[in-house]
Structure 1
Amino acid sequence: MLTIANGPIGMLSLDEPACPSPPRTWGEDPHEFAVGLVKKTVVGVSVPDIIYERDHVRGAFIEAARALAAQGCSAITSNCGYSVLYQKDVIEATRLPTVLSSLLLLPAVVAALPPDYQVGIICYDSTCLSDEHLKASWPQAQRSRLNIVGIEGTEAWSKSNSSDAVYEWPLFAKAIENCVEVLMRAERPTGAVIVECCAFGSFVPMIKARMGVPTCDIYDAAKLLLGDAASGIIKI
Structure 2
Amino acid sequence: MPTSNNKPSLPPLGFIAIDIHFHRPPGDPFNQQTWPFPLIRIQAEGSSESQVVTNDTYDDEFIDRFVQAGSKLAAQGCVGIITSCGFLAMAQPELSARLPTPIATSALLQLRSILPLLPSQKTVGILTYDDARLRDSHLANVGLSPDDIRRTDIKGAPPTGHLRRVIQDGAPYVHTDIERELVHTVKEMVAENPDIGAILLECTQMPPFAEAIQQAVQLPVYDVYTMACWFYSGLVRKTPAAWGRSEG
C-alpha deviation, 1:30, in angstroms: 4.2
Give unmatched runs, 5+ long, in structure 1: 1-5
> What amino acid does structure 2 have at the position aligned with 1:95?
P
TM-score, normalisation: structure 1: 0.85
Q: Does the 8 Å contact 1:42/1:61 carry over to 2?
A: yes
Is 1:183 aligned with 2:183? no
Q: Deviation digits for residues 2-35 of structure 1, max 9, x if unmatched?
A: xxxx63111011111242x33322231347243x
Of the two structures, which has the highest relative contact order with CA contacts closer than 8 Å and spacing of 6 or more? 1
Is 1:89 aligned with 2:94? yes
C-alpha deviation, 1:126, in angstroms: 1.1
Is 1:22 aligned with 2:25? yes
* Cα-Cα RMSD: 2.3
Is 1:7 aligned with 2:7? no
Q: Deviation digits for residues 177-207 of structure 1, max 9, x if unmatched?
A: 2221212312432101111111011100011
Equivalence map 1:86-165=2 (5 Å): 86-141=91-146, 142-160=148-166, 162=168, 165=170
> What amino acid does structure 2 have at the position aligned with 1:71?
Q
Name the counterpart of 1:41. Answer: 43
Q: Does the 8 Å contact 2:157/2:164 carry over to 1?
A: no
Name the counterpart of 2:84. Answer: 79
Measure the CA separation in 1 of the matches of 2:120 and 2:34: 40
Between structure 1 and structure 2, the one with the greater Rg is: 2
Structure 2 CA distance for partners of 1:219 and 1:189, relative to 1, 3 Å: same
Measure the CA separation in 2 of the matches of 1:231 and 1:202: 26
1:51 corresponds to which of 37, 50, 53? 53
C-alpha deviation, 1:104, in angstroms: 0.6
Measure the CA separation in 1 of the matches of 2:46 and 2:210: 29
Is 1:220 aligned with 2:199? no
Point out the more displaced range, 222-231 or 177-186.
222-231
Aligned residues with identical type, % of pairs: 24
C-alpha deviation, 1:231, in angstroms: 6.0
Q: Does the 8 Å contact 2:27/2:34 carry over to 1?
A: no
Structure 2 CA distance for partners of 1:226 and 1:176, relative to 1, 3 Å: same
Structure 2 CA distance for partners of 1:197 and 1:57, relative to 1, 3 Å: same
Structure 2 CA distance for partners of 1:7 and 1:187, relative to 1, 3 Å: closer
Q: Does the 8 Å contact 1:10/1:75 carry over to 2?
A: yes
SS across alignment from 2:150: helix
Q: Does the 8 Å contact 1:98/1:226 carry over to 2?
A: no
Q: Does the 8 Å contact 2:204/2:224 carry over to 1?
A: yes
Name the counterpart of 1:3. Answer: none
Q: Does the 8 Å contact 1:30/1:37 carry over to 2?
A: no
TM-score, normalisation: structure 2: 0.81
> What amino acid does structure 2 have at the position aligned with 1:73?
C
> What amino acid does structure 1 have at the position aligned with 2:165?
K
SS across alignment from 1:126: coil
